Amino acid sequence: WITNSDFKSTGTVTYTIALRQRWDYVFVANNKIVQQNTSGYNALAIYRGAQYVTVADNYIYGDGHSPLALSMASYATVVGNVVDAASVANEGGIEVEWKVGHAGPGSDTSHHVTIVGNVVRDGNWCIFTHRRDVDGAAPHDVIIANNVVSGCTIGIYLAAGSNIMVTNNLMENNTTNLSVDSGVTATVRNNLGHVTENSGAVT
């Protein structure tokens, strides 16, 4: 449990909080987590195939890599956070990914991840799924719902993955609200700011 604390890294600190071994039943809530090293990595990094993870009601800021990295994590819920995204290329706000260097014993990829009710703003990719290494498995069974994604180059970016649901998000002031790469299987519907259906009439 990591709760009710104020974490701030400056100078040459690489991570603010990093779980670099296999941890299960992780609960991170009601914290302020700030990474102010532009050449550093994540403000909150959950690696090595952690399972049963909750990240709730935090403020997370990152100058370097994506402030919140699930790489890899499964059966994870990310809810009610405010995330100031990084503007670094190939990074963003909340990432759900596979990366071979982050693998742990018995881990495959990030899966069964629910990202709901967050505000992610002002960076490169606000929320994204990714497979950093082509020989690994892409994330799967991911729900991205009821978030506000604002002021990013891409609001929601599905670079890799399968069985992804993107629904009921508010997308505003992004250069591109949603981008889905080839080979990704996703259901996209009812997102304000990204038209997937036109029907009926309004008076």
Q: Which pair of structure tokens corresponds to residue 189?
A: 């519907």
pLDDT of residue 58: 98
Among the residue ranges 35-39, 76-80, 171-175, the one predicted with the least confidence is: 35-39
Each residue of 62-88: pLDDT tens digit? 988 999 999 999 999 999 999 999 999
pLDDT of residue 179: 97
Residue position matching structure tokens 């609001």: 155
Q: Which residue type sits at 22?
A: R
CB-side neighbour CA atoms (13 Å) of 118? 30
Q: Tally Cβ neighbours within 10 Å of residue 135.
A: 7
Q: Which pair of structure tokens corresponds to residue 5?
A: 């604390």
Is 24's pLDDT higher than 90? yes
Is 100's pLDDT higher than 90? no
Secondary structure (DSSP) of 15-38: -SEEE-S--EEEEEES-EEEE--T
pLDDT of residue 183: 93
Is 202's pLDDT higher than 70? no
pLDDT of residue 189: 94
